[in-house]
Chains A and B, each alone.
Chain A
Amino acid sequence: MNLKISALDFIQEVKTGNISAEDFVAKTMEQIKNVDDKLHAFLSINEKAVDQAREIDKKIKSGVDVGACFGMPISIKDNICIKDSNTTCASKMLENFIAPYDATVITKLKNQDAVFVGKVNMDEFAMGLTTEFSAFGPSKNPWNLECVPGGSSGGSAVSVSAFECVASLGSDTGGSVRNPASFCSTVGYKPTYGLISRYGLISYANSIEQIGPLTRTVKDAAFMLNLVSGIDPNDNTTIDNKNTNYLSGIETGIEGKKIGIIKEMIGDGIDSSVLSATKDAISKLESLGAICEEISLEMIKFSVAAYYTITATEAGSNLARYDNLRYGYDFPLEGYEFNSYISKARRNFGPEVTRRMILGGFVPSAGHAGKYFLKALKVKSKLTKEINNAFKQFDLLISPTVPVLPFKIGEKIDDPISLFLIDINTVTANLTGKPAISIPYAISNGLPIGIQLMADSMNDQLLLRAAYALEQTVKLPEVSI
């Protein structure tokens, strides 16, 4: 049985009876068993996955209404709650936390007969872009086991790229879906802020993060968006998308569309192979009838600083609840006075989270907020204005997803600033709420390069259309795993 098929092909195969959901899921579980010792994409496995697939097969045979997933095996980033399963955020703080409820996206996927094969690795509380900050050890890049898979949704990207599932859900706060997608040669898509409910996604920086799919194809990403998007009474920030079908019109091309090349994202610090891949993608888009022009966005140079200031502030607040009083890990609380208890109980956070907690306590504090946090908010609003203006002129914006190729595990872990700067191309979409997608575009020295497209808010359909058009121009090798 071929595991290397897209979500839409899987559904077609099951629908036509060529394969059964049970066989495919069983084979997928076997693949996880075979390769995950090397890759460490998974933090926990759903032991009932095959049984659940069998039940779905029964539904298919009996002709009862079957959900759109037909038993499709999906992996879920470990910061999204699945009822009665461990949800650790790859943190010692939540080592024993069992979610008592389903995230909205999980409820929706369950209703569509998806099968969750397991929870996947990430940087602790989604803070990082290499998955090295997981408290349970890093994931490895299937293209080169010595390299990082990107992050923070590293486990999602690895599991899709190494055929341990058909699709995955990650979360993207500053590029956490697109960055690992680029590093592992999968599609990674962050929709417009508010399109997908965040209810049940454990918050890191709630005002800018979104759940997003990691898939083999652009069409799969559109399909996943169809399943999980829409207004949710449990998340006041969700937008009514009127049940838009993101697959419809996806093949209609981009003739005559104006695409802006973001000058600040192809300048200093960019790897030469990444630059040439980007130039190649631009010429491909032009050959498809698009009009590409350079545009300079001045606020981009402040975006990373603003991003880390805002996310640290929100993280400082969002992670305050982990005091180990109501859930968490084993900790005898008797005999402590409250303040000493709190500081002791919170020592289980890892180094990167601790760093950002300290930052988050400082930048919005009285006497410093004006210099840091409020300034960051100003950058955010100016950047949004600048991007909005750009979208008056252009339909889409293009850049490489990450300015560099996947690097070695351990290479940059002690250099937080140089790690932070790798986010330069991805944070803008989060700070401005815009949709952005990374698609696999090239392989250089055996390492993947992704291209990022960005569109205006609620223009997700156009974004997917353009990504699909560009995707059709490339044929990439499969990972040898």
Chain B
Amino acid sequence: MTMIGLEIHCQLTNLQSKLFCSCKANYREFQINENICPICMGLPGSLPRLNQEAVKKATMIAMALNCTTPEKIAFFRKNYFYPDLPKNFQITQLNIYGDTSVGGSGSIMIGDKKIRITRIQLEEDPGRLIYEGSSSKNQITLVDYNRAGTPLVEIVTEPDFETPKEVRAFLNVLSDLLANLGVADPSLEGAMRADANVSIEGEKKVEIKNIGSFHDLEKAVHFEITRQESLHSRDIEIAQETRHWDDKRKITVSSRSKEEDLDYRYFLEGDIPWVRIDTDIHNKLKLEMPESISSKKERYVSKYNIPAQVADVLSSDKFYSDLFEESHTELNAKEVANIITTDLMGLADTREKRESSKLTSKHLRELADAIQSGKISRNSSKNALHAILKTGNDLNTIISELDLGNVSDESELLEIVTSVISDEPKAVDEVKSNPQTINYLVGKVMQKTKGKADPILTLDLLKKQIGI
């Protein structure tokens, strides 16, 4: 049996500051080594100053993943030398000596499958290494400490996955969940990283590190299973080791460093006293927690009669479900959900497009209302939406500027209907014997009006003129 376990690192990108100082948690907007201070640089004499918000957010994640949450938590030092680690130790959490991290064992359902969570811990991200030089001879390593000290939550799962597909499904659910909690923006580059443990047929466990994206994680796991199966089929023993994902060649490579042998000499971080998270705080956090994705989905279906599939897509995406909540009324909810899932998600499918979009909730509400009242056709609404995203202009302005309004004037439409009937005598005859084929003529009217004809009125007029 194949067993896959994950260690996911998620930056708490929505926090104001780093885990132990007031530098920005969002280091991405800075020039190299500009988002640093004596604390995150580990200068002599500096001490960590715990960001209490980070503890709260990490606890929220633990609660959302149904983990046990202890009354008090402790921090530990993980000691090792590495140039991206300013203090040459990382402040992290551990479950030993009776001290516990922010989250104990928990679980989450992925479809019908239960994935168990081993633990959740809060720790600091190291800096970032930048390699320059083309060959190993002239290679130099530069260090950017802007990221050093960014709050990171590590989520460790039990080896409950059996296929790369399950891994991917879990990561999608997890990243939606983290976004929905408002603790992180998983779409930011490097905000979510993962290591995987893979073993097959009761053989030894292999750890894969250095995987840059979820897409690559799926590939790396797939590669590793294939590699191990191939060895296994030839009766070659699988070595317990750490392998690195080679991003360029898309294979895993045995890492020569003896990471397995490292002794981290963990011990309590004396500069941060135990943090108490009592029942009161837990209860308060529960109240502060946003509605879960599954509860949103249920509400969309039961309250607004939105189809389950649409509700699923909408509730999973924090950006769009927030937009939905702001835009919809009791009457137009279904229409708003429709516009978002069938049109908007396609038009604004990247983070850049979302950010540059000039669409407001007011636009969306008016557009849905216009469709429902027949002021604009479903067809034309797409064009209107496109224009809104680009210009941010008022819906009425866009309708008149682009001439998108429905042709619902009876005499105007009658003229077009009459001309279609005289152009298409054959089709008219066919309609007389088989009324179902009238849609062909409706299509012709739509063609002439560029899709703006009021469909109900068009059908009415055609029937009247043909005499059926």
Contacts and interface: CB of A to CB of B under 8 A. Distances in A.
Given A100-B38, A237-B271, A317 B89 contact: yes
Interface string B254-278: 0000000001010110111100000
B256 to A, nearest CB: 12
B274 to A, nearest CB: 10
Contacts of B263: 365-366
B42 to A, nearest CB: 5
Given A81-B45, A321-B44, A338-B83, A206 B88 contact: no
A235 B47 contact: yes
Interface in B31-54: 38, 41-50
Interface string A194-213: 00001111110011000000
Nearest to A103: B45
Contact of A236 (B43, B44, B268, B272): B272
Contacts of A87: 44-45
A326 interface: yes
Given A207-B270, A237-B270, A316 B46 contact: no
B392 interface: no
Interface in B71-119: 77, 79, 81-83, 86-89
Interface residues on A, range: 35 or more
Contact of A199 (B45, B77, B89, B272): B45
Contact of A206 (B38, B42, B82, B270): B270
Interface string B60-72: 0000000000000
A294 B81 CA distance: 49
B185 to A, nearest CB: 28
B281 to A, nearest CB: 17
Contacts of A89: 44
A81 B79 CA distance: 25
B49 A233 contact: yes
Contacts of B77: 317
A334 B77 CA distance: 30
A154 interface: no
Contacts of B49: 233-236
A383 to B, nearest CB: 17
B273 A236 contact: yes
B83 A202 contact: no
Contacts of A321: 42, 44, 86-88
Contacts of B79: 316-317, 320
A230 B450 CA distance: 77
A364 interface: yes
A101 interface: yes
A80 B143 CA distance: 28
Given A81-B44, A202-B44, A236-B49, A320 B38 contact: no
B265 A316 contact: yes
A143 interface: no
A342 to B, nearest CB: 5
A345 to B, nearest CB: 10
Which of B47, B82, B143, B271: most chain A CB closer than 10 A? B47
A320 B86 contact: no
A94 B44 contact: yes
Contacts of A323: 81, 83, 88
Contacts of A361: 265
Contacts, number: 100
Contacts of A327: 43-44
Contacts of A235: 47, 49, 271
Interface in B176-199: none
Which of B38, B86, B141: most chain A CB closer than 10 A? B38
Contacts of B45: 79-81, 87, 99, 101, 103, 199-203
Contacts of B42: 321, 326
Interface in A276-307: none
Nearest to B78: A317
B89 A320 contact: yes
A305 to B, nearest CB: 17
Interface in A79-109: 79-81, 87, 89, 94, 97, 99-101, 103
B208 to A, nearest CB: 22
Nearest to A94: B44
A236 B51 CA distance: 11
B273 to A, nearest CB: 6
A113 interface: no
Contacts of A101: 38, 43, 45-46
Interface in A323-343: 323, 325-327, 334, 338-339, 342
A314 interface: yes
Contacts of A320: 79, 81, 87-89
Contact of A100 (B43, B48, B89): B43
B89 A237 contact: no
Interface string A438-473: 000000000000000000000000000000000000
A311 to B, nearest CB: 11
A100 B42 CA distance: 12
B329 to A, nearest CB: 47
Contacts of A314: 267, 270
Interface in A151-205: 198-203
B86 A236 contact: no
Nearest to B265: A364
Contacts of A80: 45
27 contacts: A87-B45, A89-B44, A99-B45, A101-B46, A200-B45, A202-B45, A203-B45, A203-B47, A203-B271, A206-B271, A207-B268, A207-B270, A235-B49, A237-B270, A313-B267, A314-B270, A316-B265, A317-B79, A317-B89, A317-B267, A320-B88, A325-B143, A338-B141, A342-B81, A365-B265, A366-B265, A369-B265
Given A200-B46, A313-B265, A326-B43, 19 more contacts: A81-B44, A81-B45, A87-B44, A87-B45, A103-B45, A199-B45, A199-B46, A199-B47, A202-B44, A203-B47, A233-B49, A236-B272, A326-B42, A327-B43, A327-B44, A334-B140, A338-B81, A364-B267, A366-B265
Interface of B: 38, 41-50, 77, 79, 81-83, 86-89, 140-141, 143, 263, 265, 267-268, 270-273
Interface of A: 79-81, 87, 89, 94, 97, 99-101, 103, 198-203, 206-207, 233-237, 313-314, 316-317, 320-321, 323, 325-327, 334, 338-339, 342, 361, 364-366, 369, 373
